[in-house]
């Protein structure tokens, strides 16, 4: 018999032998083991703690397979197919970046920008580089709660695989009313936004902004996130430059651009927005007090 206690002990002990994992900050072998076991059983972690003697022999092989994959560095989110972000559980695959807590700042600031302009309706919103759709979907869910629905929203990505993930998340997490306000399409951030044929009130994005060599180093830990979604060019600023220039052309007067950035080049990103023509350019810090977001207004 293979019990819950056996499974939890096995998972924790094996994961602790992984040099890839133990080198990572905030790694917890017991937590990862429990999350993988809970996912397979369809139970909460509290159930595991309350039922140590329950027989889980039926999933023994599958569980050991997941533990093996986790030891190689595969993130828990890719193994379970889900990641919590801004009060929702998002479907994720290796085609998209795993949603990070730092990115919740982009959601919060976008919502604030929308509230400030809610009398200028209808508002037109655009999210380049949508990935899993976690940002735009979180924004729309919150807007429905506060009764702001006189909007049109578009989101694009260069990856068809990422768009498939985003569409699935929209189907799973948005009400039919809010889904009708959102359209996804394939587009390249570095192409002229004037081709979209629309003027926007707010453009918000988490573009690739990791310097190329840093992105390569990050992926050496086996995290398996898509290189294309991380690589921002030599200094990590290529797509921020394209985003700023292209957004300025299609934003309406008093329109706002919000872009997530790296803490290592926030000042350079702010300079890019200023040179593109934006005013009131501001750097915002995340909950770790790291520079994480740059915003600017077209006057």
Q: For residues 150-174, give the mean pLDDT.
A: 98
Which spans in the chain are helix H?
Answer: 4-15, 19-22, 29-41, 45-50, 60-71, 76-80, 104-116, 134-145, 160-173, 176-179, 212-218, 227-230, 238-250, 266-276
CB of 125 within 8 A of CB of 114? yes
Check whether 121 has a pLDDT greater than 80. Answer: no
pLDDT digits (tens, 9 = 90+) for 19-42: 999 998 889 999 999 999 999 999
Contacts made by residues 22-31, CB under 8 angstroms, sequence distance 24+: 23/221, 24/221
Q: For residues 183-200, give the mean pLDDT.
A: 97
Q: For residues 70-79, give the mean pLDDT.
A: 96
Check whether 8 has a pLDDT greater than 80. Answer: yes
Check whether 120 has a pLDDT greater than 80. Answer: no
pLDDT of amino acid 129: 99
Check whether 49 has a pLDDT greater than 80. Answer: yes
DSSP code, position 210: B
CA 92 centroid distance within chain? 9
**Which superfamily does 85-89+95-297 belong to?**
Vaccinia Virus protein VP39 (3.40.50.150)
Q: Order of strands, edge to edge, in the sheet holding 279-285? A: 182-186, 151-157, 123-127, 200-205, 251-260, 291-297, 279-285
Q: pLDDT confidence of 223, banded at 50, 70, 90?
A: confident
Kindly tell me the burial class for residue 154, based on how many C-beta atoms sit within 10 Å of its own C-beta (0-12, 13-18, 19 or more). buried
Residue ranges of domains in the chain: 4-73, 85-89+95-297
């Amino acid at each position: 018999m293979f019990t819950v206690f056996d499974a939890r002990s096995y998972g924790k002990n094996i994961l602790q032998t992984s040099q890839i994992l133990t080198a990572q900050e905030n790694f917890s072998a017991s937590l990862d083991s429990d999350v993988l076991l809970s996912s397979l059983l369809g139970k909460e972690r509290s159930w595991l703690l309350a039922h140590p003697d329950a027989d889980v022999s039926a999933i023994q092989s599958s569980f050991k397979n997941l533990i093996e994959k986790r030891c190689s560095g595969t993130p828990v989110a890719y193994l379970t197919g889900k990641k919590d972000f801004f009060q929702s559980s998002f479907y994720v695959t290796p085609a998209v970046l795993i949603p990070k807590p730092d990115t919740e700042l982009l959601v919060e600031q976008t919502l604030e920008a929308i509230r400030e302009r809610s009398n200028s309706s209808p508002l037109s919103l655009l999210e380049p580089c949508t990935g899993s759709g976690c940002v735009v979907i979180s924004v729309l869910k919150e807007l429905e709660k506060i009764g702001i629905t006189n909007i049109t929203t578009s989101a694009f990505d260069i990856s068809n695989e990422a768009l498939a993930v985003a569409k699935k998340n929209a189907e799973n997490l948005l009400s039919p009313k809010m889904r009708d306000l959102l359209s996804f399409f394939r587009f390249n951030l570095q192409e002229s936004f004037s081709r979209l044929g629309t003027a926007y009130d707010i453009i918000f994005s988490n573009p690739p902004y990791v310097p190329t060599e840093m992105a390569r180093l990050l992926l050496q830990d086996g995290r398996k996130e898509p290189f294309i979604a991380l690589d921002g060019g030599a200094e990590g600023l290529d797509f921020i430059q394209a985003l700023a220039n292209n957004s300025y052309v299609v934003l309406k007067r008093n329109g706002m651009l919000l872009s997530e950035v790296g803490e290592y080049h926030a000042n350079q990103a702010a300079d890019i927005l200023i040179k593109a023509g934006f005013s009131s350019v501001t750097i915002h810090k995340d909950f770790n007090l790291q520079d994480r977001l740059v915003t600017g207004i077209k006057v």
